[in-house]
Chains A and B, each alone.
Chain A
Amino acid sequence: MFIEVKDAKKRYGEGEAAVYALDGVDLSLEKGKICVILGPSGSGKSTLLNMIGGLDSLDSGEIEIDGQNITKLNKKALTSYRKQSVGFIFQFYNLIPDLTVEENVQVVAEIADKPLDMDEILTALDIEKYRYRFPRELSGGQQQRVAIARAMVKNPKLLLCDELTGALDTKSSRSVLRFIEKINREYGTTTLIITHNEAIAEMSDVVVRIKDGRVDSITENASKKTADEIEL
């Protein structure tokens, strides 16, 4: 398995105020698949994504990514893991406002071991014409495409998307999802998408439902649709 999560537990707060964001999560995912994680607010899906992405550490349990147990990595190794293996896409893009489109992508390419061709990525995401613009000069959908380009330029093994269409209108959402689908197809990048939107689950290979910090169900999607076919 490419992703292996075993009995992952994470608690925030102490005593009576303690909340278990993850309360024994088990999850497996094959390489190259698109996995959509669904769940209500506070169910623990973002926490799970943060753990898999090496942004936070578990209280107990293990996470293996491509055979590497990331729960045992120190701070430096986790940074290296994020640098080499993981691409993040957030709901609110989190682009660096002082850098242009090109520079937001280039800043990651400069530290990556084997970056993809930046021009190719910008063209593929149809943002080449905006390369000298700053984030504030772009629409939400365009900014999210820059965020995808930034995530992909390092050629990550794993793409983690946290509510990537949450701040976008339907047209922009579909456009963004189309690029996610394209990347998965062309680069074989394993993709984890966290969303409230049930419709997005239809374009995934695997649907994981989380409730109260536990996995409620894992379903293989037998009738996978394209981004153009789903109803957003």
Chain B
Amino acid sequence: MKLNKRYTRSIKANLPFYVSASVLTMVTLLMFYLFYIAGTGINRYGDEFFEKYKREDAAFTTYKEIPDEEIGALENKYSVTLEKERFAGVDEGGHRVRVFCPNEKIDLYEIQDGRDIESDDEILISAGYAVENNVKPGDVIRIKGKDYTVAGTFLRPDYLYMVENVSDDYKNVTTFFLCYMTPAEFEAQFGGGSINNKVIYTEKTDEAAFRRAVNEDYFMSSYLSADGNMRITFVHEQADMFIMSSWFILVIFPLLTVALVCILLGRRIRAEQKLIGTLSAMGYERSKLMRHYSLYAVIPGVVGGLLTSVAALILAKPFGSLGLADYEPMKPDFTLPVWVAVAGVVIPTAIYYAAAMLRVRKLLKADTVDLLSGKVGADAKSRKILSHKKTAVKRKFAVRQLVGSPGRSFVIFLGIFLGATIVAFAFSFIDSVRAVGKEAHGEFGSFKYEYILNSLENGKPEDGEAMLALQYENEESSRFSLLGLDRDATLWNLTTVDGEKADLENGFYVSTLCEATFGVHKGDEFTFRSIATLEEKTVKIDGVIKNGYQSYLLTSREKAAKIAGIDEKSYNAVLADKALDYKSDEVTEIISDKTYEMQMENMMTAMGGLIYAFMIIGMIVCIAALYATINTMITENRHNISMLKVLGFEDGRIDSMILSSNHLLLIPGIVLGIASAYGVMAWYCKEFVEVEHIIIPATLYPQSILYTALITLASYVISLLLLRRKIGRTDMIEALKDGRE
């Protein structure tokens, strides 16, 4: 039909709107795509890697070594794969090395760079450390006084997230690495070394029976299931966070964006009501008109969707790599599933098409005479505002624009709100992580150092305060620490959330993280079991102590020792307000008052790229949303702008008069955006407890609020500056002709 000849001209005339609406569609969909691709890519890689390299289901140690000849019998009886892994810890020039003798059945390694070891003077080292410290195959590393040539680097399934101790909150690839040497060389250097038993269960395995049997014969001293091993669980947990974030982003941002574009499309179609009325009067069928106008709406959907797919293809790998910052250098395949790409084009297109259809349909229900006079949809109810007040006309005009056209005001508000929300969320993420670094140690207490000892000691330490720290679990194998302190302990936080001092002699207290993780509250009974013997204990909880970073049950040292069945004077940790002289082989871990801060700073360094990318996306969304909206507003005000020009108003004065109404939306948009970002962060942190086993306090510092406001304001100003030319280009004569009624 001849009407189709309008397409090119009309699209050209409204190009800025189509471009901004397409960009808006693209950017918000892209956020979903990238998070989804990163999450699914990591999950897929994790599953395949775990399967291929025989990831353990659990690791355990025993007081009595399981004889080699008994391994086969246990495997057959309980349908398990069992292997004794030999390892040793070495301190070398301030760096800590965990040396392994290669396994044959469980937790096998994959060479990343270089080749496998072929001789006794060669070693393999963990890939993350090699990358971080720029160690290449061929380089030489000294271990226990002997130089070894690095033959290659490797990944192994139980160390894809390289935490030195399972209780650490963040990886360490700077001063800690894993190493393989030949069995003969390991024997020569470390003898038998320490043993960590690895097990893989099958469907036929009765896990509890196996554990009881091992404990009965060999006395289990520790048991760590893969589900409780952060080095393993972090792979899927972080990937799941990405996927969860992607769905959250999908639910909030693209839906809001699509709603915004639909509103703008509707307004643009309404602005064409005279033509629609004319065509209708000329006899054009309703269906033809609906199809004609709906096809305009398809443009931002198709273009935005296609651009999203193209951008996702290009950005999937670099963006996904940002999400890999915490892991060992894994190489997942970040690809865009075809169905997601197709859905990304089809869904917004269909929604825009439907929105346009409905708008034209609604318009065509109106009286043709009203359409021809352009009166349909004009709302005059609010225009009386300030009509009797003696105030500047500019101000009255601004208020009436704002209140008299709520739909238009809403979409401008939405643009500001969206931008502020995304930017504030990014800041809140940074602030919340930093808050952990700043506040975490204070929740533990006033000690400067905590020494976790290699062995159980008896009595009292020469310096510092004794603490007994033992691992226990619930029925679901979720672990927590049973802590025992002396009644005169001063360095550990003993103040309950009720403000009272914990009575360790007579009671049991849980940390807030333990409360959140296990759902036990003051007055409840808490049943848990020994990870070695699976023997159950039940205690009554007398209070809760604020600590969102360690899941613990706290009591006196005597009571903790009694539960463990060991001497009541036992301790295996020392709290001190100064550095103590422990030798490196006497302690397994030293926690200082700076540990959390450093771990969180490292985390921020690793995740910084992702967060700043998110912030930039927020700015683009804000600019594109405001550009599209204000562009529509200027089009709707074309007649007024033209008349003001004729009357001798300078462009700057016209800008101020037409656009100033939007300034009033800045404050609520920014304030509500920041509030909603904080709310989202609080929810996110709540979800984080189950995934990361840490209570992150949702935080937004005043300077971040200020930065959010400034960035949103800058985005707003940029969009206004981009649109000033449109006001300048408004043709006085043509616009006045259009304004005839």
Contact = CB atoms under 8 A, between A and B. Distances in A.
A54 to B, nearest CB: 9
A175 interface: no
Interface string A192-208: 00000000000000000
Contact of B392 (A76, A86, A110): A110
Interface string B615-659: 000000000000000000000000110111111111001000000
B733 interface: yes
A98 B739 contact: no
A92 to B, nearest CB: 4
A84 B648 contact: yes
A79 B647 CA distance: 8
Contacts of A55: 646, 732-733
Nearest to A101: B387
Interface stretch (B57-65, B182-190, B396-404, B563-571): B396-404
Contacts of B393: 99, 103, 106-107, 110
A72 interface: no
Interface string A134-164: 1010000000000000100010000000000
A117 to B, nearest CB: 16
A12 B646 CA distance: 21
Contacts of B643: 94-96
Contacts of A107: 393-394, 397, 644, 647
B383 interface: yes
B146 interface: no
Given A50-B733, A56-B733, A106-B393, A98 B648 contact: no
Given A92-B741, A106-B393, A83 B387 contact: no
A83 B733 contact: no
A23 to B, nearest CB: 19
B647 A90 contact: no
B380 interface: yes
A82 B647 contact: yes
Contacts of A84: 648
Nearest to A47: B733
B6 interface: no
B639 A100 contact: no
A108 interface: yes
B388 interface: yes
A41 to B, nearest CB: 13
Q: Which of B388, B397, B640, B643 has the most CB of A within 10 A?
A: B643
B733 A98 contact: no
Contacts of B653: 111
B397 A98 contact: yes
Contact of B739 (A92, A108, A134, A150): A92
B736 interface: yes
A209 to B, nearest CB: 23
B639 A94 contact: yes
Nearest to B388: A132
B: contact size bracket: 20 to 34
Contacts of B649: 79, 83, 111
Nearest to A93: B741
Residue in B384, B648, B732 whose Cβ sees the most chain A Cβ within 10 Å: B648
B500 to A, nearest CB: 64
A88 B739 contact: no
Contacts of B646: 53, 55, 82, 88, 94
A50 B384 CA distance: 34
Contact of A99 (B397, B645, B650, B733): B397
Q: What bracket does the count of chain A residues touching chain B fall in?
A: 20 to 34
A80 B383 CA distance: 30
B727 to A, nearest CB: 13
Interface in A102-128: 103, 106-108, 110-111
Nearest to B654: A79
Interface string B714-739: 00000000000000000011001001
Interface in B50-100: none
Contact of B396 (A76, A86, A103): A103
Nearest to B732: A55
A83 B640 contact: no
A99 B396 contact: yes
A12 B572 CA distance: 94
B635 to A, nearest CB: 16
Contacts of A110: 392-394
Contact of B400 (A79, A98, A132): A98
A84 to B, nearest CB: 7
B583 interface: no
Nearest to A84: B648
Interface in B685-741: 732-733, 736, 739-741
A108 B647 contact: yes
B648 A82 contact: yes
B648 A83 contact: yes
A83 B647 contact: yes
A45 B383 CA distance: 37
A111 B388 contact: no
Contacts of A136: 380
B397 A94 contact: no
A79 B387 CA distance: 28
A155 B645 CA distance: 17
Nearest to B375: A136
Interface in B280-294: none
Interface in B412-460: none
A58 B643 CA distance: 21
Nearest to A94: B643
A111 B643 CA distance: 14
A88 B647 CA distance: 8
Contacts of B640: 96-98
A132 B383 CA distance: 11
Interface in B179-223: none
A56 B733 CA distance: 8
B387 A132 contact: yes
Given A92-B740, A99-B393, A110-B392, A134 B383 contact: yes
Interface string B456-475: 00000000000000000000
B648 A111 contact: yes
A94 B736 contact: yes
A111 B733 CA distance: 21
A34 to B, nearest CB: 21
Of the listed residues B380, B387, B396, B739, the one surrounded by the most CB atoms of chain A closer than 10 A to its CB is B387
Contacts of A94: 639, 642-643, 646, 736, 739
A91 B733 CA distance: 13
A76 B733 contact: no
A169 to B, nearest CB: 16
A111 B736 CA distance: 21
A79 B650 contact: yes
Q: Which of A53, A92, A94, A100 has the most CB of B within 10 A?
A: A94
B399 to A, nearest CB: 10
Contact of B648 (A80, A91, A100, A106): A80
Contacts of B736: 90, 92, 94
Contacts of B404: 98
A86 B643 CA distance: 13
A93 B193 CA distance: 97
Contacts of B732: 55-56
Contacts of B639: 94
A106 B395 CA distance: 12
B4 to A, nearest CB: 22
Given A94-B643, A110-B393, A134-B380, A100 B741 contact: no
Interface string B641-684: 01111111110010000000000000000000000000000000
B647 A98 contact: no
A145 B180 CA distance: 95
Interface of B: 380, 383-384, 387-388, 392-394, 396-397, 400-401, 404, 639-640, 642-650, 653, 732-733, 736, 739-741
8 contacts: A56-B732, A82-B645, A82-B648, A86-B648, A99-B400, A103-B387, A103-B396, A136-B380
Listed from nearest, the 4 A-B pairs whose CB atoms lie closest are A83-B648, A82-B648, A92-B740, A107-B393
